[in-house]
Every structure is written in structure tokens, then in C-alpha cells.
A and B are shown apart, each in its own frame.
Chain A
Amino acid sequence: MACVLLVMALVFHALTGNFLTPENLYNIAQQTAVVGIVSTAMALVIVARQIDLSVGSVLGLVGVLIAFLMYTKGWHWLPASLAGLAVALVVALYQGWLTAVLGVPSFVVTLGGLMSFRGAAFLVADGKTQPVSDATFLLFGGGLDGSLGPLWSWLLGLALSALLVWKVWALRRSAAVHGALIRPLALDLGLAAAAVAVLLGFVATMNAYVLADKGAGQGVPVPVLIWAGVVMSVSFLVRRTRFGRYVYAIGGNPEAARLAGIPVKRVLLQLFALLALLITVAAVVAVSRLNAGTNSLGTGMELYVIAAAVIGGVALSGGSGSVLGSVLGALVIQFLDSGLLLVDVAIGWRMVIIGQVLIVAVVFDVLYRRASGERLE
């Protein structure tokens, strides 16, 4: 998957000459964040054999509500965002209850939600655009001011690199203490080196983007920072907590999960709640990027979010896929979209191509699973 990204970048750069520039990569990074944030949770929802088609509409509802509370009602951004979160959670509990407790397929529940919550987004402010001007709030969207700057970007990059190396070392040590299998040292070293190189390379690129009137480099944009925090948190949930394990168990075999004593309904409700939280985070970033909340915010986003998860290797039959895959999947879509735009491909053809790339990804997935002898449902 990472190779696919690299090949795409090189091809687009060869075609246009300005794909691999700090400016373009900076923009791609922050444009991908909104979809990327939601698709980390969407990956888990699909792993658990569910789907949520209403994410774009709920994002629109929450986003316009936050903007409405700030602009029309004069609220501070923090209570406004918390109110948005509360609404997202109510929606999640309602749809989750229909799905997990009553057993209505989530496809149907959220297909209805796709329609209803888009309508609700219109109702919040009667369809009027709600501009947002709070300087602090606008930092969440990145843009020209919402980035860390060179110094903090380097410090963050180095701190994360150190954390990574320490994690690898600690894992090897406790594996040795417990007499578990230890991976070859060269493999661990190679993986750690590659990860650190990507991390520091990313920081260097973001710092290399210098605006003419600013003098200093931009550094890591805030939306990317939020996205990275979300990815690390959700990965932690998946790997280290019972919740994460149960999500995969439910996806692998729902009946076995139930018979093993897993509280399946509760886990699914928690999963929808996690998605609601991340939709709210993404809504804050999206509104801030636009400087406004509109009732059309997030239209069609469900397709990008689901496509990112699927291209990233999440199987729609459930039980397999990863959070990191959703990151790469989101980047693949954005690379494609931006690259084709730079090559001057018209919007119609862009949509045709991106749709077919999604199918190619799934075809590869099916062929790979068949070749590796996995049973297909």
C-alpha cells in the first residue's frame, strides 16, 4: 500500500512537475485529515460487520450546529463543540440501538440517517450559511496560521521518533522476559528506521513550505496533528484494550463472540459512540477549514470515508483490516484526486477513475484472500 502511494506520487510528479512540492504535499496532508479522522473509526465499524452511510450527513448536522451556536447564538467555541458532540452521541445511540438491540441492518438504519440528518442540517439554521471567525477555533482547520512552525514540528517529530524506538525496544525486552517469540532484530530495526525516516521526512517537508510574507516554514498543520492523535488513540484501543479485541472478534464470528460471553450489543453501541466522537472532531476541523458551517458540509463524504477504509484493506465481510490501513487508503484517494486535478483531468473523469480504483482495490483484496486460502463468505 505504501508502495502504491510512492508510485502514484512519482508518476504524478513526472507528469506535472509540481506534485512532490512542499506546498502541494502540505495541502494534501490537511485536505485528507477530515476524511482520515472519520475513516479510522469507519474501519472498525466495517471490521465489526456494520456500516455507517450517515457519517457525511451527521458531520453536516454537527458542523452547522456548532457554527450556528457560535455565529447566531454567540456561544464560545468550546461549549458549542460539546453541544455538537452531544448531538452526535444522541444520533449514535439512536442508530446504534436500532442496529445492535433491535437488529435492524445498519445499512438500512444509516441509509435513512443519510437522508434525515442532511435534512436536519438544513433545519438547524434554515439553510443559511453560518460564518465562523473565532481565531482560536480557526486554528483547528490549519490554513495559513494553523500549523506548528518549524521548531515545534521538529521537537514533535523527534519526540515521536524517540517514543517509537523506545516502544520497539520495550516490546523486545518484555518478549524476552516472558520467553515469547522475538522477531529478528534486523526486521525490527528496519521497520523502526523506515517509520522514523517517514516521520522526520514529513516534518522536513512541512517545514520546507515557506509562505512569501511569513519568512519561516509552516511546519505540521494542526488538522494533521489532530488526525495523527486520533490514529494513535484508535490504534491503542485496537491493540491494547478488550474493546478493540471484541470488535475484531464480533467481525470474525458474531455468534462465537456472543457464546464466549462478549457483550456484543454494548460493544457495538460503544463503537457507534466512538464514531460519533470522531465525526465531531472532523466536523470542527471541516467548519474551521471552511470558515463557515453550511448545510451541505460533508455531502458525499460517506463514500470517501468508506472507500478509504476499503482501499486501506478493510474487508466488507468483516473481521480484518487495520487503522493504519485507513490512513493509507485516505491518502491514496487524496493523491489520486489532487494528482488528477494537477494533470488537469476534468471533474467527471476524476470521479469515474476514483470509483474504478475502489473496485480495483477490492478485486485485489478478493484475489489475495482466495490465493491465501481464506474462506470467503
Chain B
Amino acid sequence: MSRDMPIEALVALRGISKSFGGVRAVDDVSLNLYPGEVVALLGHNGAGKSTLMKLLAGAYPVDAGELRIAGRPVRISDPAAAQALGIETIHQTLALADNLDAVANLFLGREMRTRFGLLDEFGMERAAREVFKRLNPNFRNLAVPVRSLSGGQRQVVAISRAVHFNARVLIMDEPCAALGPQETQMVHDLVRRLKAQGVGIFLITHDMTDVFALSDRLAVMKNGRTVGVYRTGDLNEDQVLAMIIAGKQPAGIAQTVETT
């Protein structure tokens, strides 16, 4: 656990900035993520939290700032580079190819191949069946296009990508936004299990229940900048909402250090 221990950050963001046209979507943000830690990212729509995470996932290049993974400075130029560093992302849109089946989506971009370099359909199907069984024993629709699956099942497919490829860092962008209670519980269980395995998780959410149930620390963003980074246990819901809505830091509570 991160609390006051001199261990190395898994992800260290230092002075990260990103502009689109004239708009500074992310402005000089510094933030750490430690192994086995869940950091909640909060803020209004357009506060810059999704953009910040997309920079880490390789969806956009960073304009300025330094990115370190396990102490090593890295440049993440595209999504494949992020995957190679063990960074998996569950996007808010799920980012599934709706016309392909669950197995194809699980392995999309990283297909298993036979010794002739051809697609190893059977190998992928077997591996996929194992992953899906672990996530949801009722999941059987492996061979139909994912467009015909329910929201919860589509979420399982998106999550399976992170689980199968052994993420070191997991980015979850509103993973429970469209889910029923049972599926939300599944996501919560999964987060706890991955956390216990030492995976570092960035959790973007609007749901205060998720924040207090899952996160160790939270970072609030407004207009592309961080309002503050705190231990979740040091705050109550009103103080968090005041930060999100007014950008007001709670009096007398220490922030965590994000600069070393």
C-alpha cells in the first residue's frame, strides 16, 4: 500500500499538459499511482480527466511534461506502446468493434497466431472462454457480434481485455455508468481482486459510492488542472463535492505529495 511508504510509484505523471487547438485540456498535472492502489479521478465533464487518461493510454501524444513508469521515463506514442508497458484501458465508450464477436474483441490488436503466422482461432476461443468464465460464469455468447450483447456483457468483454493481458496499470473510465446493481457489484469485486494482485488502478467516475467504496486516494480536476489530491479516508462527501463544484480545497487537510 502507498500510505507513507517509500516505495516507487508505478505511474508518475509530472507537469503533463495537452492542448487541442487553443484549449488547454490538461494543464500541468502531476499525479502518482502506486502498486495495488486505486486513485479516483473526479471532476466535471470537460475537466480533463478523460484526456489525462487518454494520454497515458497512448490515444493522444503528450505536449509537455514527463511520464515515468516504475521509475523509467517513457514516451507513449500510440496505444500499442501503452499496452507494451502493461497499461490497459477500459474506455467509457468500451471501444469494441461491434461487428466482431467477443473472442475477436478480446484479442483485437494482439491476436494469438499459429506457427505459420495465421490466426489461432481455437487457441483464442479457449483462452477467451476461461477469461469470461472467471468474470461472469453466465457468459456464453462467444460467437455472436458484440452489438447483440447487453450492456453488462459488453462491459465484460471490455474488461476481459485488461484481465487477460495481465495489466500492471488499469484505467477505468466510468466502468459502472450504464450497469445494473449486479454488474456493478461484479466490477467492484474485480477492482478489489486486481488491487490485491498489485495492479494500480485509475478510476474515473461521477459516483460517490464508487469513490468511497473503492479508492485509496482521489484527485479532483477542474479546467484541466488538479484542485487537489487527498487520501479518500481523510475527506467526506461534502468536501469532495465542494472541490468538484467550486474548486475549493478543504481547510486543514493535508494533500498527498505528487512531486517526488
A192 within 8 A of B: no
B80 within 8 A of A: yes
Residues of chain B within 8 A (CB-CB) of A263 are 80
Which of B57, B79, B93 has its CB near the most chain A CB atoms (within 10 A)?
A: B79
B59–A259 touching, CB < 8 Å = yes
Minimum Cβ distance to chain B for residue A235 (Å): 13
Residues 105-150 (chain B) with a chain A CB within 8 angstroms: 108-111, 113, 117-119, 122-123, 125-126, 143, 147-148
Interface size for B (C-beta < 8 A) is: 34
Docked pose: A257 CA to B78 CA in angstroms: 12
A256–B143 touching, CB < 8 Å = no
Residues 300-331 (chain A) with a chain B CB within 8 angstroms: 319-320
Q: A242-B111, A374-B147 are in contact. Are A259 and B91 (CB under 8 A)?
A: yes
B99 within 8 A of A: yes
Which of A59-67, A174-182, A208-216, A221-229 contacts its partner?
A174-182
Docked pose: A258 CA to B108 CA in angstroms: 10
B143–A181 touching, CB < 8 Å = yes
A251 within 8 A of B: yes
Q: A180-B125, A255-B95, A260-B79 are in contact. Are A249 and B111 (CB under 8 A)?
A: no
Q: A252-B98, A256-B96, A259-B57 are in contact. Are A242 and B80 (CB under 8 A)?
A: no
A242–B97 touching, CB < 8 Å = no
Docked pose: A149 CA to B94 CA in angstroms: 56
Encode B58-100 as 1/0 by CB contact (under 8 A) with A: 0100000000000000000011101100000101011111111
Residues of chain B within 8 A (CB-CB) of A252 are 97-100
Q: A242-B111, A374-B147, A375-B147 are in contact. Are A259 and B79 (CB under 8 A)?
A: yes
B98–A253 touching, CB < 8 Å = yes
Residues of chain B within 8 A (CB-CB) of A174 are 122
Residues 254-313 (chain A) with a chain B CB within 8 angstroms: 255-263
Residues of chain A within 8 A (CB-CB) of B99 are 248, 251-253, 319-320
Residues of chain B within 8 A (CB-CB) of A260 are 79, 95, 97, 108-109, 161
Q: Which of B94, B104, B161 contacts A249 (CB 8 A)?
A: B104
Docked pose: A178 CA to B97 CA in angstroms: 25
Q: A251-B99, A319-B99 are in contact. Are A180 and B122 (CB under 8 A)?
A: yes
A319–B80 touching, CB < 8 Å = no
B119–A248 touching, CB < 8 Å = no
A179–B119 touching, CB < 8 Å = no
Closest to A175 in B: B122
With A180-B125, A263-B80, A375-B98 given, name 9 new contacts (CB 8 A): A180-B122, A241-B117, A245-B111, A256-B95, A256-B96, A260-B109, A261-B109, A261-B110, A375-B147
A to B CB contacts below 8 Å, 27 in the list: A174-B122, A177-B122, A178-B123, A180-B122, A180-B126, A181-B143, A239-B119, A240-B119, A241-B118, A242-B113, A242-B119, A248-B99, A249-B108, A253-B97, A253-B99, A255-B93, A255-B95, A256-B97, A257-B97, A257-B108, A259-B91, A260-B97, A260-B108, A261-B109, A320-B99, A373-B148, A374-B147
A-B CB proximity, top 6 nearest: A252-B99, A261-B80, A252-B97, A261-B109, A178-B122, A319-B99
